[in-house]
């Protein structure tokens, strides 16, 4: 991403303005030095206060046995981390978040792509398809979760009634997470769908026309033009979905009535952290888990950046 940015500025900068370059460079530098800092200052103030400072504070608290009031905390070294790594409930919660992510990400990516293809190729009523597929994303997470909680409730829920089932969606360990996954697909696929749709509209028509002249059929055109042209957007959809899915909280909590699900089968990492912090009042321990979670997210994000970079370099 940064490489392409450098390239564009470089390309513009080089030949065109050799004459005025010296003059404008001084103008730019002077103006820039005077005001550059002030442009970013308001954002930085908020950023330091509500992102960097809590992060540092979290690191500090994670080495203490602080409770919710923050009084009388004493330094306990690595105890919180040692306890967390040996805490099977934490590993279970992490496992639930990871399992959810593994189920949701491939499904959303494929589904969003198919929906976008459909909406892109139907010639009539484009606004209607866009509206239908995107509308669930406009509902608050809790509202979508409440709707599905009701649809899935055994007895009074319409899902079982409509499909002639008697599945204990919300009360059985083997279905609870699946119910959350289905709800999530319905609720969030619209966003990725829009990304794909915008990307599809950006593919130049002449590529398809040229391929048709060369006798490529629809399948060939999809495999050799559409999919390669969408590679970047697919990477973005997957990355955004992984980060969002690992942070599972809202749907799971609301659909399971603010509990951990049948036999603690849907308690996510975020949920467990907040329980430790706000229910058990163990702020030090919860902070240690927050830091562990931050490291996991950072590793995933860095891995994605690294993969992207090597692939781009390899591709050229």
Partner 1 sequence: MTTAVQARKSPRKPWTPSQIILTLIGVAVSAVFVAPIAAALFTSLKSEAEAAEIPPHWLPEVWTVQAWKALWETGNITNWFINSLVVSVCVTSVVLTVSALAGYGFARTEFRGKSVLMGIVMSGLMISPAVLGVPLFTTVQQMGMVDTYWGMILPQCAPAAMVYILYKFFQGVPRELEEAAFIDGAGRWRVFFTIVVPLARPSLAAVGIFTFIASWNNFLWPYMVTNNPDLMTMPNGIATVMNSYGIQWAQLMAGGLMAGLPLIIVFVFFQRQIVAGVAHTGLAGQ
Cβ at position 305, least distance to partner 1 in Å = 10
In terms of CB distance, is 160 or 177 closer to partner 1? 160
219 vs 200: CA distance, rounded Å: 16
CA distance 167 to 158: 12
203 contributes a contact to partner 1 by CB under 8 A: no
206 C-beta neighbours (distance < 10 Å), count? 8
Residue 144 beta carbon to partner 1: minimum distance, rounded to whole angstroms: 8
Q: Count Cβ atoms below 10 Å from residue 227 Cβ, excluding itself.
A: 12
Q: Hey, which residues between 10 and 49 contact partner 1 (CB under 8 A)?
A: 12-13, 17, 20, 23-24, 27-29, 31-40, 42-44, 46-47, 49
Report how far residue 182's alpha carbon sits from residue 170's, in angstroms, rounded to the nearest whole number. 12
Binding residue for partner 1, selected from 74, 201, 219, 316, defined by CB under 8 A:
201
Strand-pair partners of 64 = 75
CB of 262 to partner 1, least distance (A): 18
Q: How far is the CB of 106 from partner 1 (least distance, A)?
A: 19
* Burial (0-12, 13-18, 19+ Cβ within 10 Å), 252: buried
Q: What is the nearest approach in angstroms of partner 1 to the Cβ of residue 177?
A: 18
Binding test (CB under 8 A) with partner 1, winner from 301, 307, 310, 312:
301
Map the footprint of partner 1 across residues 61-90, applying CB under 8 A. 61, 66, 68, 70
Nearer to partner 1, 5 or 213 (CB): 5
Nearest-approach distance from CB 172 to partner 1, in angstroms: 19
Between residue 261 and residue 280, which ones bind partner 1 under the rule CB under 8 A? 270, 273-274, 276-278
Q: By 3-state DSSP, what share of the chain in percent is helix, strand and coil, each rounded to 5?
A: 75, 0, 20
Token pair 């030090």 is at which residue?
284
Return the closest-CA partner of residue 181 out of 106, 239, 232. Answer: 106
In the complex, the smallest distance separating the C-beta of residue 154 from partner 1, rounded to whole angstroms, is: 10
How many chain residues interact with partner 1 (CB under 8 A)?
112
Whether 170 and 179 have beta carbons less than 8 Å apart is answered as yes
Site for partner 1 in 103-162 (CB under 8 A): 115, 118-119, 121-125, 127-148, 150-151, 155-158, 161
Q: Measured from the CB atom, is 37 or 106 closer to partner 1?
A: 37
Q: Which of 14, 85, 102, 202 binds partner 1 (CB under 8 A)?
A: 202
Least spacing, CB of residue 164 vs partner 1, in Å: 11
Token output for 66? 């602080």
Closer residue to partner 1 (CB): 121 or 316: 121
List Cβ neighbours of 171 (8 Å cut-off, separation of 6 or more).
154, 262
Q: Are 208 and 223 in contact (CB under 8 A)?
A: no
Interface residue with partner 1 among 173, 232, 309, 311 (CB under 8 A) is 232
- Residue 282 CA to residue 61 CA, distance in Å, equals 10
Q: How far is CA 177 from CA 147, 188, 225, 248, in A?
A: 16, 16, 37, 11
């Amino acid at each position: 991403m940064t490489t392409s940015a450098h390239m564009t500025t470089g390309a513009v900068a080089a030949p065109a303005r050799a004459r005025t370059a010296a003059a404008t460079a001084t103008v730019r530098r002077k103006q820039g030095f005077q005001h550059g800092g002030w442009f970013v200052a308001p954002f930085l103030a908020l950023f330091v206060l509500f992102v960097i400072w809590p992060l540092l504070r979290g690191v500090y608290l994670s080495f203490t046995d602080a409770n919710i009031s923050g009084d009388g905390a004493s330094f306990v070294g690595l105890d919180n981390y040692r306890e967390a790594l040996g805490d099977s409930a934490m590993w279970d919660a992490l496992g639930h978040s990871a399992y959810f992510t593994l189920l949701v990400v491939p499904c959303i990516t494929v589904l969003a792509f198919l929906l976008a293809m459909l909406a892109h190729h139907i010639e009539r009523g484009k606004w209607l398809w866009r509206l239908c597929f995107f509308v669930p994303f406009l509902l608050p997470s809790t509202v979508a979760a409440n709707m599905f909680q009701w649809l899935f409730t055994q007895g009074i829920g319409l899902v079982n009634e409509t499909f002639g089932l008697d599945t204990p969606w919300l009360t059985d360990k083997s279905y609870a997470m699946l119910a959350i996954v289905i709800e999530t697909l319905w609720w969030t696929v619209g966003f990725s769908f829009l990304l794909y749709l915008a990307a599809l509209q950006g593919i130049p028509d002449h590529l398809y026309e040229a391929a048709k002249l060369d006798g490529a059929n629809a399948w060939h055109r999809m495999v050799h033009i559409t999919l390669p042209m969408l590679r970047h957007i697919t990477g973005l959809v997957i990355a955004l979905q992984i980060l969002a899915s690992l942070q599972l909280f809202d749907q799971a909590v609301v659909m399971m009535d603010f509990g951990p699900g049948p036999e603690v089968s849907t308690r996510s990492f975020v949920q467990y952290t907040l329980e430790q912090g706000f229910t058990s009042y163990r702020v030090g321990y919860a902070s240690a888990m927050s830091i562990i979670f931050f490291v996991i997210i950072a590793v995933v994000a860095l891995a994605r950046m690294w993969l992207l970079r090597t692939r781009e370099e390899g591709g050229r």
